[in-house]
Structure 1
């Protein structure tokens, strides 16, 4: 599909979480290369880092549009994002988001885009667009296995999910997933919002995955929703070349043997408990595998690394491990030749990044969609999950065992091989999914113009 359609303006409107904003922005960048003009809408606190980091070449084609949420006493503007939001304020954030719908309506009225691309929680957004005869398409930054699993449970309670490979493997996963199903705000369950958002999508639904790993789930999702499901590919962010902040990381990795080291990170919005941190630390130590571990603490937490980690841990591991506090260039680390495994919470963006870079996964899902994502990682064959005990606790012996199996031992050879194959497959595919997305979207906009 070439870019020879007349320029189309798209209003992109993700949910207020980094794991949603980031794929929406990556999709926006891909579309600008194909003759689309993007209005990217979020709260000022979410747009600030984008404004600082967005490369100059996008300055004309991606326009940032501020959505102002109402000022609630318990939700000052720096909390108009899930990043650093105290968990008990999540329902308040969703309520404030709903209350901003009149502001969003004004934005749609003023910008008059050709198309709205929206997320799974704001069922009022497509209603506003459709009332103005603007097609609205949902974009899901999750995978088809998770989405079809949730919609199946919502629409067919008590009926077994037709794919036995996807299940909740222990009480911990069940309790975390129950939270997802029960989560609600402003009197509406998240699952109800999700189903309604899907129903309002104009003919198609976009989803961040690719057919080679999820064909049957894409087909089942289409059956459940009555929509054509269009995968957009992995949308992995290109590495940002700004490593002056932590130059020591690359030097340290350069001194490690090829595929010998494990990268450990649990995403930007999950914070390990002291107990989890201890078990992971001892597990890394017992594995005898070199590691680079990104440790994060909640904003404002006055904790030093030495206090958080087991006594003497840093001295004992010496040069065999590096602990980095706060931020690290994840893509740059994962593509380094010394990395042989990624110990991950299985946030979907991280899983796809691993696939694109050919790094096998040591799965330690924590909450949200992660337990289901970990099942998919094992089904695809490019990773193994660390099993928890009967009480849902991580155990150091199990952590060490799975790290060794994935990175070092002969038993993990097939996992390492599968990761390589997926990388090659993604390289050879290029951006064919984006071309199909463009085709579908152009068709929708042409249909609208004919009416």
Structure 2
């Protein structure tokens, strides 16, 4: 039988959140370009969110296959809730438990595909244990910032020792909120998972030494394993034509005169937050595009969620969009001078990629730490909340005007553009370093290749 050329095969399993599957897909694309065959595994509903991007990959002849992970059936958690996107808060513990119960499904997938390597999300350890039981080596991928990971790793390991980087911190109300979330997770089984031994060989992280070198090194020193940045791995611009009227609206605005306002796909504003942000935008008298989202099944009309008469008062100064907007195209546009964001890590890196200063309005989880990292880097300003965590319209308007109207914004734009260029230049180098380490680990696996010739991954 003639030998057949093939590449190393990798199976990737992100946590069931759009904020996780998207960077996993971008990592898969980078690895496929470098001659790996990648299986990307998730629930059908989660995979449907990236369906159009998968079709584009097929057109590019990239070696990526999707693999469905099936969670146990439950009347309380129908298949359309097998994702965090739009999931009601009270069902989040149920989803976590269902995910852990998918161990047999993952085991069958690993047995069938028999990949050379398993890339697991750092959120859960049980998939790593399943892979190890099949003698498949494991590495982990961290899609959050190194600042966040190092902060919480430090807090969990040495709570009585001061964190060594004072620019990144949580305020009392933020820490209380985070501890409440962690306690809720532990009480519903996630804690037992996090206590399992980590069997990974090393960790990849969606970041760059150019912006987080000291944080990356600190994580490595704590976990006693190599932590390798792979660059920002920003997704390619969406090619669909929806909302072209938004771009046409931007074309009529002056250079750097407008802000883009968006809080991600899984962050939903309270009525009070909506009112303060709306009034802050109106007070600022700055052009804006505001993307508003509601939980799955919530049929609230945008007009009903905004202060009475808001749309009429702002007129052509602002546009409010329900649901989706072409974020990458908007951030790339020369009329955008600032990004009002919750500071999810993907959004932060996109903003830096396009040289747009950040107007930070963190909501939860890692976002306050990401916001303060941006302030430390000189590419953002934070909208300060009061000690109870409430936003105030005057503060929102003040920060927006400082970034868009005042000279301070000009300095931040220069800094953001400079860092964005450095990250782009460093990105391929960092990714190639990770590819070499992955290749070496695959080569160490004592597997018979059944007469196949293994092609060494290529560096781009």
Q: TM-score, normalised by structure 2?
A: 0.93
For residue 185 of structure 1, report the CA deviation from its aligned partner.
5.3
CA distance in 2 between partners of 1:376 and 1:60 (Å): 35
Q: Note if contact 1:14-1:20 (Cα within 8 Å) is conserved in structure 2.
A: yes
Q: Secondary structure at the match of 2:95?
A: helix
**2:71 matched to 1:69?**
yes
For each residue in 1:23-53, what CA deviation from the matched residue of structure 2 results, as whole angstroms up to 9, or x when unmatched? 0000001111110001110001111232333
For each residue in 1:153-206, what CA deviation from the matched residue of structure 2 results, as whole angstroms up to 9, or x when unmatched? 11112221111111113x33223222343241575345x645647x3211x100
Partner residue of 1:200?
199
Aligned ranges 1:171-210 → 2 under 5 Å: 171-184=172-185, 187-190=188-191, 193-194=193-194, 196=196, 199-202=198-201, 204-210=202-208
For each residue in 1:269-309, what CA deviation from the matched residue of structure 2 results, as whole angstroms up to 9, or x when unmatched? 01101110010001011111100000111122231111111
CA distance in 1 between partners of 2:145 and 2:46 (Å): 23
Task: Identify unmatched segments of 5+ residues in structure 1.
Answer: none
Partner residue of 2:330?
333
Partner residue of 2:350?
353
Partner residue of 1:91?
93
CA distance in 2 between partners of 1:410 and 1:60 (Å): 45
**Which of 115, 121, 124 is the equivalent residue of 1:122?**
124
Partner residue of 1:371?
368
Q: Secondary structure at the match of 1:298?
A: coil
Aligned ranges 1:356-435 → 2 under 5 Å: 356-435=353-432
CA distance in 2 between partners of 1:113 and 1:212 (Å): 33
Partner residue of 1:262?
259
Runs (4+) off by over 6 Å: none
Aligned ranges 1:229-244 → 2 under 5 Å: 229-243=227-241
**Which of 57, 60, 67 is the equivalent residue of 2:59?**
57
Q: Secondary structure at the match of 2:307?
A: coil
CA-based RMSD: 1.7
For residue 137 of structure 1, report the CA deviation from its aligned partner.
0.5
Q: Note if contact 2:16-2:83 (Cα within 8 Å) is conserved in structure 1.
A: yes
Looking at both structures, which has the greater relative contact order when contacts are Cα pairs under 8 Å and sequence separation is at least 6?
2
For each residue in 1:407-451, what CA deviation from the matched residue of structure 2 results, as whole angstroms up to 9, or x when unmatched? 220233332221121122123335111111110100111122389
Partner residue of 2:244?
247
**Which of 291, 313, 319 is the equivalent residue of 2:310?**
313
Partner residue of 2:48?
48
CA distance in 1 between partners of 2:35 and 2:377 (Å): 35
Are the structure 2 counterparts of residues 210 and 182 from structure 1 closer, same or farther at C-alpha, using a change threshold of 3 Å?
same
Q: Note if contact 1:9-1:39 (Cα within 8 Å) is conserved in structure 2.
A: yes
For each residue in 1:124-146, what CA deviation from the matched residue of structure 2 results, as whole angstroms up to 9, or x when unmatched? 21112112221100100001111
For residue 6 of structure 1, report the CA deviation from its aligned partner.
6.0
CA distance in 1 between partners of 2:104 and 2:280 (Å): 51
Q: Note if contact 1:95-1:185 (Cα within 8 Å) is conserved in structure 2.
A: no
For each residue in 1:88-137, what CA deviation from the matched residue of structure 2 results, as whole angstroms up to 9, or x when unmatched? 11110010001110110010000000000011233121112112221100
Q: Secondary structure at the match of 1:415?
A: helix
Q: Secondary structure at the match of 1:426?
A: helix
For each residue in 1:194-238, what CA deviation from the matched residue of structure 2 results, as whole angstroms up to 9, or x when unmatched? 5647x3211x10011000111111111001000000001101111
Q: Secondary structure at the match of 1:104?
A: helix
Query: Which piece of structure 1 moves more, 93-102 or 55-64?
Result: 55-64
Partner residue of 1:81?
83
Q: Note if contact 2:147-2:215 (Cα within 8 Å) is conserved in structure 1.
A: yes
Partner residue of 2:166?
164
CA distance in 2 between partners of 1:387 and 1:60 (Å): 45
Q: Note if contact 1:151-1:195 (Cα within 8 Å) is conserved in structure 2.
A: no
Partner residue of 1:132?
134
Matched length: 442
For each residue in 1:379-404, what CA deviation from the matched residue of structure 2 results, as whole angstroms up to 9, or x when unmatched? 11100100001221000000000111
CA distance in 1 between partners of 2:372 and 2:196 (Å): 27
